[in-house]
Amino acid sequence: MSETNSLELINKLSQENLDQYCSKEDIELLVLHTLDINRNTLYRENPSLDDNELKKIAHFIERRNLGEPLAYLFGNKGFWNLDLFIDENVLVPRPETELLVEKILSLYDSKPLRLLDLGTGSGAIGLSLLSERPSWEVYCSDLSLKALKVAQENKKNNLVNAHLVNANWLSAFEGNSFDVIVSNPPYVDRNDKRLLGDGVSFEPTEALISEDRGLKDIRHIIKTSKSYLRDSGCLLVEHAPEQSKDVVDLFKDYSYSSIRLFQDLNGDDRVSFGKIA
Ligand SMILES: C[S@@+](CC[C@H](N)C(=O)[O-])C[C@H]1O[C@@H](n2cnc3c(N)ncnc32)[C@H](O)[C@@H]1O
């Protein structure tokens, strides 16, 4: 095949890949990415593809059909207002995590404050917040050096001035030094069937799994954050909807005040909040 039009190709490949991971929507995105065009151009101009482009798309489809997430194939993912570089060393940022960003922005204006994004991965949460509130001092930390390299790339690409720190949770920080601590930690139990979901087996285990029904890291963060927060400081943690009672109980056990649950766009409890008096 020497020349093929995009829309005909998308239809043909969707038929060939029925019942596979690579959906028609994915194939359209693969074509847009390969041609570096947007949907308007695709539908207005129906551009043709040459042999190299066809080979590239065929290779992408092969990888996608093995379950690899589109974000790893493209090397990027949109999150909040940022286009993030993503590779297999970081979790693919999820839309529900944007709830953490939204809540923090609604709680705090541009007055200077110190914020820590614990387990930053690609930098999604901390860098999005800093891009909206350049007057804040933002620390992004992770145990994984490979993840921090990704966050470093995103910091550079998005021209934001975050401090990147390699640390086991709060161990590298001084007590009583943050106004806000935010975290989307690993919270999936190792037997949870979510680990069998589309693309999940390609993501780093240490970004997903936590022992003790997925609560071990959340418990550690809630317990230790208290002494790293300044007066009236707050902690926000993402968790699975079915963990909400356990997480709220942990905030109570460690005597946080103003404890609240926030719901994601599906109406599921997704973020717990607590302040220190
Ligand atoms: C669920 S991912 C979240 C990544 C990113 N914040 C996001 O929302 O897309 C959890 C992150 O916590 C990091 N992590 C796991 N254990 C850690 C530890 N003991 N100390 C610091 N970071 C840790 C992982 O490397 C991973 O990047």
For residue range 8-38, what is the model confidence (pLDDT) as tens digits? 999 999 999 998 899 999 999 999 999 999 9
Tens digits of residue pLDDT in 80-95: 999 999 999 999 999 9
pLDDT at 3 over 80: no
Prediction pTM value? 0.94
- For the chain, helix (H) and strand (E) counts, in that order, are 12, 11
DSSP state for residue 109 in the 8-state scheme: -
Ligand 1 touching residue 210 (CB < 6 A)? no
pLDDT at 178 over 80: yes
d(CA 275, CA 277): 6
pLDDT at 40 over 80: yes
Nearest-CA residue for ligand 1 atom 19 is: 168
Determine the residue of 98, 138, 206, 237 to mutate for testing ligand 1's pocket, defined as the one with the most ligand atoms within 8 A of the Cβ atom: 206
Give the residue ranges of DSSP H helices in 66-144: 70-74, 98-107, 124-132
Residue 19 has a pLDDT of 86
CB 202 within 8 Å of CB 88: yes
> Cα(56) to centroid of ligand 1, in Å?
32
Residue 1 — pLDDT band, cuts 50, 70, 90?
very low
pLDDT more than 90, % of the chain: 95
State both tokens at 157.
């690409």
What φ, ψ does residue 51 adopt, rounded to 5°? -60, -40
Classify 108 as helix, strand or coil.
coil
Classify 13 as helix, strand or coil.
helix
